[in-house]
Structure 1
Amino acid sequence: MKSMGTRDKLAAASGHRRVLFVVFAFATFLTFLYTTSHFATAPGSASASGSAAASTTTTSGSAGGGGQAGSGSGSGSGLPLPVFEALVHFASISNATHRMSDTDIRAISAVLRARAPCNLLVFGLGAESPLWLALNHGGRTVFLEENEFYVKYLEPRHPGMEAYDVSYTTKVRDFRDLLSAARASRRKECRPVQNLLFSECRLAINDLPNDLYDVPWDVVLIDGPSGWNPNSPGRMPSIFTTAVLARSGATAAKGRPTDVLVHDFQFEVEQVLSREFLCDENRVAGSGTQSLGHFVIQGGGAGDAFCSGQEESGEKTRRRRRK
C-alpha cells in the first residue's frame, strides 16, 4: 500500500464504500441463491449437515482459543465459494484510489481462502480493508493503523471492524542502524522467542491491547505503516513484531504455521527486513507476486537465530571481537 495523506485516504474510502455497497449487495443475493439452492436440492441431508456443522463449530472454538477467534483450518469458511469469488472479482476490478493491484488482491485472497475462518492480523488500513474483513467471515480480523483519525473514521462505517491505532517511534532513515542494533541484541532484547509485552527491543511493538498478544494468529498481512519518505515510520517494527509473534506464545502453540504476507515487497526496507526476520528459507516459491512476499513461519524454536546460519555468523562475530 503506497502511503497517502489523510484527505486522500478519506476520499479513497468514500469511493470504495460505493463499490463495496454494490459488491456486498450482489454477494448477499448470491448467498441467498446458494442457500436456497442448497437446501432445495438436499433436504434429506439437513440433519446430518447440522450435526457436522455443530461438530465443526465446537472444534473451531477450542482450536481458536477465544470467543471471536476462528479455527484457521480453512475447511469451515463462512462464505460459500461463489460469494467469496464474487467479492474478490469486484474488488480486483474496482477503480478505488490507492488500491492494490488485482494480482496482489488475488494472491492474498488465495491465502485467506485456504485459512479462513481464522485469526487475521493486518498492519495498515486501506481500500481493501473491508474486503479482508468480509473474506474472513466467521474469524477474527484485527487492523493496526498509524493514523488515529483514520481508525475513528472507518471503524463506525464498517460494522464488525476491529481496529487500533499504533504509535511508531522508528524512521525509515534509521533502518540500517536499527537493523544493526537488533542484530547485536539478538541474544537479548531482540531475540526471536519472547514476550513482546515486556520487550525492550527498539523494533518491538509492545503497546498493543494486551489480549492481542495472546491471540494465535494464523495469517498476518503487513501493509503498514507508511514508508514513503525518510521520516515515515517504515515497516521495520511490523515485520520484526510479526516474526516474533509467529514464533512465540499462543501463535506458536496453536500447532499450525503462520502465513505472513508482506506487501510492497519490491522496496528495500521490506526486502531486507523480511530476509533478516522472516527468512528466505520460509518464503513460499511461486506464491505471491513481485510486490508481495509470502512466508510460512513454524512456531517455536530455540536459540538466538531467526534464520538458518544467523547463529553461526553471530558466534563468528563474537569470536572476532574477543580476539
Structure 2
Amino acid sequence: MKSMGSRDRLSAASAASSHRRLLFVVFASCFAFATFLTFLYTTSHFTAAASSSSGSGTASDSASISTATADGGGAASLAARSKSNKLPLPVFDALVHFASISNATHRMSDTDIRAISAVLRDRAPCNLLVFGLGAESPLWLALNHGGRTVFLEENEFYVKYLEPRHPGLEAYDVSYTTKVRDFRDLLAAARASRAKECRPVQNLLFSECRLAINDLPNDLYDVAWDMVLIDGPSGWNPTSPGRMPSIFTTAVLARSGATAAKGPTDVLLHDFQFEVEQVLSREFLCDENRVAGSGTPSLGHFIIRGGGPTDAFCSGSSESGEKTRRRK
C-alpha cells in the first residue's frame, strides 16, 4: 500500500479543520439561542412574580391600614407585629438557665440574672439601653431578640474586642470625667443647679450639667427607651468613674423626649447595695418609683414616668426613706 502524499495529507487536515469549525459554530449558535430563550423566560417570570407580590402587598397594606383605622390608630397593630418577633418562651428560659449556671468570671449572681431577665421578658422585644459590657452582654442581646439593644462602655478596647465576636452587638465607648471620690461634691452641684443645667426634663445633647452624658451618637437621644440597665461604668475604687453620670442621665432620659412620650421606663440598677448607687438612686430615680418585691438586695428596680416637676426629680425629699410603689 502506497503512503499518502503531502498534498493529500494537507487536504485531509484542511477538511477535518473545516468540519470542526462548522461543529463549533453550530454549537455556539445553539448555546446562544438557548441562553436567549432562558433570559426571556426568566425576565417574564420575574415580572409576573413582582406584579403578583406587589398586588398582594398592596392588599395586605390596605388591610393593615383598615384594621389600624378600625382600632383607632396604628399603635396597637405595631405592638402586635413587634410581639410576633418575641423570643419563644422555651428558648428564653433555656438561655437564662445556662447563663445562670455559667462559671464565667466576673458575672452577675444567678438571682440578679433571673431578676433582670424577668423584667426583660415582659418588655421584649423593646429598646434596651445597657450601661456597661460584661459576661452577660450576649445574653441581654439574645433575650431582646427582635428589639434594639445598645451598650455603653467606658473601655473602648473592650468594645473593639467584643463586637467582632458577637455579630449584631451595638456598643459605643463613653468617656467619663467623674470620680467616685467626688460624688458628694458632684451631687451638691447638681442640687444647686436642679432648676437650670441639671433639671429633670431637658435635651441631654445640649446639657451642661457635670453629671450629664452628652457625647453619645445623636440618634440615641431620640430613641424611645423601654428599659435601661445600669451596670457601668466601674466604681470599685475612689478613682473609678462611678455610676453617677449613668444614673442621672437615665433619670433625665426617662422623663424627657421620645422616652417619656412612649410611656413608663423600667430602670434596673445593679450593685444597688453600694453607697453611690443608694444615694444617687434616692436623689434621681426616687424611692417612690421603686418597685416593691422586685429585684434583689443587689438590684434596684424602678419605673420612671415622663414629665413631672421642672425643678425636682422626686415628689418628696431625697431622704424619703424606703417608700416604694407596686407595679400596676
TM-score by length of 2: 0.73
1:150 maps to which residue?
158
Could you tell me how far apart the structure 2 residues matched to 1:95 and 1:282 are? 34
Q: What SS is found at the alignment partner of 1:304?
A: coil
Tell me the residue number matched to 2:185.
177
1:108-257 aligned at under 5 Å gives the runs 108-254=116-262, 256-257=263-264
Once residues 130 and 71 of structure 1 are traced to their aligned partners in structure 2, the CA distance between those partners, rounded to angstroms, is: 25
Describe the shift of the 1:308–1:302 C-alpha distance in structure 2 as closer, same or farther (beyond 3 A).
closer
Measured in 2, the distance between the counterparts of 1:175 and 1:243 equals 17
Structure 2 letter corresponding to 1:197: L
For residues 186 and 63 of structure 1, the distance between their equivalents in structure 2, rounded to whole angstroms, comes to 35
Q: Deviations over 1:94-150 (max 9, x none)?
A: 000000001000000000000000000000000000000000000000000000000
Query: Against the structure 1 CA distance between its residues 72 and 194, is the aligned structure 2 distance closer, same or farther, given a 3 Å change threshold?
Result: farther
For residues 303 and 122 of structure 1, the distance between their equivalents in structure 2, rounded to whole angstroms, comes to: 26
Query: Does the CA-based 8 Å contact 1:73-1:115 persist in structure 2?
Result: no
CA shift for structure 1 position 300? 1.5
For 1:98 and 1:72, how far apart are their aligned partners in 2? 38
CA contact (8 A) 1:74 1:114 kept: no
Q: 1:297 to 1:244 in 2, by over 3 A?
A: same
Given the alignment, which residue of 257, 273, 276 partners 1:269?
Answer: 276
**What secondary structure does 2:116 align onto?**
helix
Q: Which has the higher contact order (CA 8 A, sep 6+)?
A: 1
Where structure 1 has 5 or more consecutive residues not aligned to the other structure, the ranges are 1-50, 65-69, 314-323
Unpaired runs of 5+ residues, structure 2, are 1-59, 69-73, 321-328
- Which residue is 1:294 aligned to? 301
Per-residue deviation, 1:303? 2.4
Counterpart AA for 1:276: E
The residue number in structure 2 matching 1:14 is none
Cα deviation for residue 77 of structure 1 reads: 4.7
2: CA distance between counterparts of 1:72 and 1:191? 36
What is aligned with 2:29?
none
Rounded Cα–Cα distance in structure 2 between residues aligned with 1:71 and 1:139? 12
Bigger Cα Rg: 2
Which secondary structure does the structure 2 equivalent of 1:197 belong to?
helix
User: 1:200, 1:144 → 2: CA distance?
Assistant: 20
Q: Distance in 1 between the 2:75 and 2:234 partners?
A: 34
User: Could you tell me whether the CA contact under 8 Å between 1:72 and 1:116 is conserved in 2?
Assistant: no
Cα distance in 1 for partners of 2:100, 2:130 equals 19
Q: What is the distance in 2 between the residues matched to 1:225 and 1:303?
A: 28
Residue identity matched to 2:280 = L
C-alpha displacement of 1:196: 0.2
Aligned to 2:311: 304
Cα deviation for residue 189 of structure 1 reads 0.3
Task: Give the partner amino acid of 1:147.
Answer: N
CA distance in 2, matches of 1:274, 1:102: 23
Runs of 4+ in 1 over 6 A off after TM superposition: none
Q: Following the alignment from structure 1 to structure 2, what is the Cα–Cα distance between the partners of residues 122 and 135?
A: 13
Cα distance in structure 2, aligned partners of 1:212 and 1:99: 27
Letter of the 2:260 partner, please give it.
Answer: A
CA-based RMSD? 2.4
Cα drift, residue 308 of structure 1 = 1.0
Taking a change above 3 Å as real, the CA distance of residues 173 and 247 of structure 1, as seen in their structure-2 partners, is same
Paired amino acid for 2:309? A
- Offset at residue 309 of structure 1 (A): 2.1
Give the direction of change, closer, same or farther, for the CA distance of 1:224–1:185 in structure 2 (3 Å limit).
Answer: same
Letter in 2 for 1:224: G
Q: Which amino acid aligns with 2:233?
A: P
Match of 1:88 in 2: 96
The answer (yes or no) to whether the contact 2:228–2:250 under 8 Å persists in 1 is yes
Give the direction of change, closer, same or farther, for the CA distance of 1:297–1:74 in structure 2 (3 Å limit): farther
